[in-house]
Structure 1
Amino acid sequence: MCGIVGILGRAPVAEQLVDSLKRLEYRGYDSAGVATLENGALARRRAEGKLKNLEARLEAKPLGGHTGIGHTRWATHGRPTENNAHPHATERVAVVHNGIIENFRELREGLEAKGTVFSTETDTEVVVHLVDNLLKGGVAPVEAVRAVLSQLRGAFALGLIFAGEDDLMIGARNGPPLAIGHGDGEMYLGSDAIALGPFTDTISYLEDGDWVVLNRKGATIFDKDNAIVHREAIKHLTATALVDKANYRHFMAKEIHEQPEVVGHTLARYVDMATERVTMPVKLPFDFKNIQRVSITACGTASYAGFVAKYWLERLARLPVELDVASEFRYREAPLRKGDLAVFISQSGETADTLAALRYAKAQGAYTLSVVNVPTSTIARESEVVLPTLAGPEIGVASTKAFTCQLMVLASLAVAAGKARGELSDADEAKLVHSLVEIPRLMSEALTTEPHIEKLAREISKSRDVLYLGRGTSYPLALEGALKLKEISYIHAEGYAAGELKHGPIALIDEHMPVVVIAPYDKVFEKTVSNMQEVAARGGKIILMTDARGAAEATIQSLVTIVMPDMGATFAPMVYAVPVQLLAYHTAVVMGTDVDQPRNLAKSVTVE
């Protein structure tokens, strides 16, 4: 994950910027840089690789100035080179950026048509030139940023400083988090409170759509409609913290809200957004054309990520897939052929059953590929291929952001397999990649359903049992939804394929039974509506998670509808995971359970 820090100080800030960036190293990065105002002019230093390389640049060529911004970059658009490192700048403005500008290509083409020359491969540079062009035309910095923000589409956080404006910094949030630090005659901007811990213990958090104008006396915050708003300043004990809850009540809530950012960073590792192609970060030791069967093995939530991947691999790559929970696979002596591909999914990379299954597959001569969040873990070390998720530390026991990052990796793998096997054309791949690029923004939109879900959770908390239904890739998401509710609220829940309703579960339906139906409008939506009608006829309380068209088509009296953003059905599980997680979270909060550390559960199961 990229990191942002900005300082309006009373002394030179370059060293402080680097020290603050060090506190964000846990997020992962591949280049870094800082920019300051020296006698009113913008100056910057950047370096590929770790912060020690940037420190060496600053030692050889120091930067003065009491106003500055810094950045650690995880490459999205463009390679991890010094030239692509942030801050990006012209003579008039410098910008640091987390996230993805989805419409950067059309913005870039428009700028190039007017004669703008680009010097990097990044999406961020369009922001620089859009602002710079307005500044050249005599528009004031605040008004220039206001105008540019309205043109940007995607999930992003920004920090900007301006030549000749020593007492001005502007920040903006649309998805990825951004915090304001309040000091004594100084003000700060950062990706999270951890970055600002050495400077202040008083933090305000921007909400989605907010942007802020900072000077040394304070901050003026605007919402998405450009109205001035107040965001509470709270005390934070972050000076020695490695990971904190920010302004969230629980780590789980924070991690749910981090998903647009971390899924975006995971996406960037596997997709070349400029060419709309999937690019595996490592060379695969096999050719997908020669793979005849895939075996996917995992435990718990990771196994449901694998279940979704089964649909993707079979549909997009026409590869037969077997799915196993690791505790069964390791003992049933499954026959694997030499040259088969065995995929193992684990957040920690230390799950005992999954590790044992990996070792069995290796002994059978299968290619082994792991999807893990800890690239130094045992499963990663013992796999031939490691595909890391970039979720960052996940503290809550119930997996949220690790799950959706696993889905992003597996979706990319399925597209790569389909292309390699000749099942997908260049146009097919580009269309699928475009759908993947939209996911972080759509997840941000899905988070706006939270107030509705919080209210709904008060009703769910009164239930003894809850049923989850889905078809296609929504079926494993139904299983995941039921697991989440069980894990943290202790309410009994079960997930079923909607078509199985009449084969037993319908006997459970009565007026006390909530039934959560996950159903984006797709080719099987009408069949799912038939299942909902069967539930309604028996008095069941239906909670439908669908898009606007689905909401319009499902005319059933007992319906409560969570309306999701419009999107293609293929990769919908990544977006629909958000309301599923929020429903479990808010129900648990109402129940008063220990959300982050539910009873009897551990984050990593390293024994049988």
Structure 2
Amino acid sequence: MCGIVGVIGKEDTTEILLNGLEKLAYRGYDSAGIYVNSQSGRDYLVKEPGKISVLKAAVGPEVQGTIGVGHTRWATHGVASQANAHPHVSEDGRFYLVHNGVLTNYAELRATYLSQVNFASETDTEVAVQLIAYLAKTEQLSAKEAFRKALTLIEGSYAFVMIDRNDPETLYVAKNKSPLLIGVGADFNVVCSDALAMLNETKDFIEIHDREMVTLKKDKVEIEDLDGTFIHRDSYHVDMDASAAGKGTYPHYMLKEVDEQPAVMRRLLTEYVDDAGQMKIDPAILKAIDDADRIYIVAAGTSYHAGLIGQSLFEKLAEKPVEVHVASEFGYHMPILSKKPFFIFLTQSGETADSRQVLVQTNRLGYPSLTITNSQGSTLSREANYTLLLHAGPEIAVASTKAYTAQIAVELFLAVALGRHTAIKAAQDFDVNHELALVATGMETLLSEKQAIEDFTTMYLKTTRNAFYIGRGEDYALSLEAALKLKEISYIQAEGFAAGELKHGTIALIEDGTPVMAFLTDAKTIDHTRGNLQEVRARGAKTLTIVSEDHAQAGDQVVLPNVNPLLAPLLGIIPGQLIAYYASLQRGYDVDQPRNLAKSVTVE
């Protein structure tokens, strides 16, 4: 949600800002803007609602400078408009500010300090920049001290970057609960909410922690807490090719990322399993989980669905009891915990605000934790006791695909390692190299059948307003994820249901022509689910089956290559992802950036 870029010390600042904003577009946005200053008396503010292409068209050749900030906004306070777009400027024209996050006490600050200010927008962000200007003027503070004092008064989540027009040689930076990084260069520095935005400029980054502020010049980075104590922090190197975030010859990021899943499976094998089939996982992680009496998996959205599959893996391969919780519910309605819990946080971005507020609480309670994420150096990675990386490469499309399957694979490695650590026979007998190699090959087989999936999508979903996925056990968890993919990008009202629950109310929604798609991989319950399909067919439903080869019958439409039943969800989701993709494409929607959604949900 929202994106920030800032540059100081480069002649091509405008180009860097616009390119950086394009790299951050995947996070979701409804408007964009930049402010640049030449440090010689000329400065420019350009902002527009809509796509970054609209902003680029509005930026004339004269818009040049050596310091600047840019922003993509995802509306929270106020509609998408030019006035509400960032950067925001103080009434006196001195301070320019961009902001990610939500200020919870903005109304109180406005009433207390800013009753005489003429506001130009409906945003909480403008309160922040007007407050800084108010403090600088009324208390005769420098820009830095006015910025610092404002930070002590502001409550909520924020990532701020500010420029003082009277001193355009400094970027003022601060964060609390929202992601922000400093990128270090030779005689220049940058700031960004995601390293991906600045990989073309530098691969060396410095983390900013909550309630810290940074004074950034072209040749200096000064980090301090709000009490003024300076902090030294080394940079870290991001080993990622910027070109990996491109679409290449693909029409959409989502299709590219779906196709990358077999390669991700093979990459994960090299990262986590040696040639002898032994797990390359820190023994300290295994001991910490072994010492616990229960695993709590906390996640949101697609990651939550990956956690449901993980629950089965941990319980069957490591015989460890597991609970899976929605982060936004768990944080405010924490259940009675076991005596020795261990927490696993699943998050693609490592910045998910709902999960992070749970981690803050569990850290306060002293419980051990592990973050499984795709983002090296992210907040949840830093603040948990341990981290396992997904190694999935950049995922740009809003609808997560390869991160979901990577999360399941990493949960598999951890479950097998834990089971072997505690001498569980099922884990000792599980040949990870062989089984995941079969999965990768099976994925490739399914991906070679795109035309058939597209044809089925046209037949079943081209004009429908709603659709259902059903299944039992892991197939039910898979139904939830397939339905989420479909509703995310095609806007079809899609729901996933436990097949056995159809008669308990849901079957009332079945009408003539209603699409019902069933996952059939669980040998124990396939016959029951086939019976449920007969029930909905009798009421006019159009049914589509996605079934493991061993259990396929005449008339089944999508047949999955045989793999270990525990890993069937890794194959089953491939047609689910492709169905969502083609349904969106056929309706003429934006596959990669669906309406109202953000890639990284950094506010609660």
C-alpha deviation, 1:288, in angstroms: 3.9
Give the equivalent residue in structure 2 for 1:252.
254
C-alpha deviation, 1:518, in angstroms: 0.9
CA distance in 1, matches of 2:502, 2:281: 40
C-alpha distance 425-346 of structure 1, shift in aligned 2 (>3 A): closer
Question: Secondary structure at 1:592's aligned position in 2?
Answer: coil
Q: Which segment is superposed worse, 311-320 or 598-607?
A: 311-320
Identify unmatched segments of 5+ residues in structure 1: 1-25, 27-196, 198-238
Q: Residue 288 of structure 1 contacts residue 421 of structure 1 at CA under 8 Å; is this kept in 2?
A: no
Q: Residue 269 of structure 1 contacts residue 281 of structure 1 at CA under 8 Å; is this kept in 2?
A: no
Q: C-alpha deviations, 1:424-458, integer Å up to 9, x for none?
A: 2675133x552123221111112122111111121
Correspondence for 1:584 among 580, 583, 592? 580
Give the equivalent residue in structure 1 for 2:51.
none
Q: Residue 329 of structure 1 contacts residue 357 of structure 1 at CA under 8 Å; is this kept in 2?
A: yes
C-alpha deviation, 1:408, in angstroms: 0.4
C-alpha distance 249-340 of structure 1, shift in aligned 2 (>3 A): same
CA distance in 2, matches of 1:297, 1:492: 26
CA distance in 1, matches of 2:411, 2:504: 31
CA distance in 1, matches of 2:416, 2:244: 36
**How many residues align structurally?**
365
C-alpha deviation, 1:575, in angstroms: 1.3
Q: Residue 268 of structure 2 contacts residue 390 of structure 2 at CA under 8 Å; is this kept in 1?
A: yes
Would you say 1:354 and 2:355 are equivalent positions? yes
C-alpha deviation, 1:322, in angstroms: 1.2
Q: C-alpha deviations, 1:81-133, integer Å up to 9, x for none?
A: xxxxxxxxxxxxxxxxxxxxxxxxxxxxxxxxxxxxxxxxxxxxxxxxxxxxx
Q: C-alpha deviations, 1:367-422, integer Å up to 9, x for none?
A: 10010000210000001110100110011000001111111001111112222222
C-alpha distance 245-312 of structure 1, shift in aligned 2 (>3 A): same
CA distance in 2, matches of 1:593, 1:446: 24
Q: Residue 344 of structure 1 contacts residue 370 of structure 1 at CA under 8 Å; is this kept in 2?
A: yes
Give the equivalent residue in structure 2 for 1:446.
446
CA distance in 2, matches of 1:290, 1:242: 40
C-alpha deviation, 1:588, in angstroms: 0.4
CA distance in 2, matches of 1:339, 1:568: 32
Give the equivalent residue in structure 2 for 1:531.
532
CA distance in 2, matches of 1:363, 1:392: 32
Amino acid at match of 1:263: M
C-alpha distance 542-591 of structure 1, shift in aligned 2 (>3 A): same
Q: Which segment is superposed worse, 416-425 or 375-384?
A: 416-425
CA distance in 1, matches of 2:416, 2:250: 36
Q: Residue 265 of structure 2 contacts residue 436 of structure 2 at CA under 8 Å; is this kept in 1?
A: no
Would you say 1:327 and 2:323 are equivalent positions? no
C-alpha distance 501-240 of structure 1, shift in aligned 2 (>3 A): closer
Give the equivalent residue in structure 2 for 1:109.
none
Amino acid at match of 2:531: S
C-alpha deviation, 1:550, in angstroms: 2.4
C-alpha deviation, 1:539, in angstroms: 1.9
Amino acid at match of 1:480: E
CA distance in 1, matches of 2:254, 2:590: 11
Give the equivalent residue in structure 2 for 1:456.
456
Give the equivalent residue in structure 1 for 2:377.
376
Give the equivalent residue in structure 2 for 1:263.
265
Identify unmatched segments of 5+ residues in structure 2: 1-22, 24-199, 201-240
CA distance in 2, matches of 1:285, 1:312: 15
Q: C-alpha deviations, 1:200-240, integer Å up to 9, x for none?
A: xxxxxxxxxxxxxxxxxxxxxxxxxxxxxxxxxxxxxxx99
Question: Secondary structure at 2:563's aligned position in 1?
Answer: coil
Q: CA RMSD in A?
A: 2.2
Q: Residue 339 of structure 1 contacts residue 367 of structure 1 at CA under 8 Å; is this kept in 2?
A: no
Give the equivalent residue in structure 2 for 1:86.
none
C-alpha deviation, 1:499, in angstroms: 1.4
- In the TM superposition, 1:58-77 aligns within 5 A as none
Question: Secondary structure at 1:598's aligned position in 2?
Answer: coil
CA distance in 1, matches of 2:244, 2:573: 27
Give the equivalent residue in structure 2 for 1:170.
none
CA distance in 1, matches of 2:362, 2:400: 26
Question: Secondary structure at 1:286's aligned position in 2?
Answer: helix
C-alpha distance 241-317 of structure 1, shift in aligned 2 (>3 A): closer
CA distance in 2, matches of 1:527, 1:436: 29
CA distance in 1, matches of 2:430, 2:565: 16
Over the matched positions of the two proteins, sequence identity in percent amounts to 41
Question: Secondary structure at 2:552's aligned position in 1?
Answer: helix
Give the equivalent residue in structure 1 for 2:437.
437
Give the equivalent residue in structure 2 for 1:570.
566
C-alpha distance 425-312 of structure 1, shift in aligned 2 (>3 A): closer
Give the equivalent residue in structure 1 for 2:557.
561
C-alpha deviation, 1:334, in angstroms: 2.9
Q: Residue 244 of structure 2 contacts residue 393 of structure 2 at CA under 8 Å; is this kept in 1?
A: no
C-alpha deviation, 1:338, in angstroms: 5.8
Q: Residue 286 of structure 2 contacts residue 421 of structure 2 at CA under 8 Å; is this kept in 1?
A: no
C-alpha deviation, 1:474, in angstroms: 1.3
- In the TM superposition, 1:2-41 aligns within 5 A as none
Correspondence for 1:601 among 562, 575, 597? 597
CA distance in 2, matches of 1:425, 1:507: 42
- Kindly report structure 1 stretches of 4+ aligned residues shifted beyond 4 Å: 239-242
Q: Residue 293 of structure 2 contacts residue 339 of structure 2 at CA under 8 Å; is this kept in 1?
A: no
Give the equivalent residue in structure 2 for 1:125.
none
Q: C-alpha deviations, 1:168-216, integer Å up to 9, x for none?
A: xxxxxxxxxxxxxxxxxxxxxxxxxxxxx9xxxxxxxxxxxxxxxxxxx
TM-score, normalised to structure 2's length? 0.58
C-alpha distance 386-282 of structure 1, shift in aligned 2 (>3 A): farther
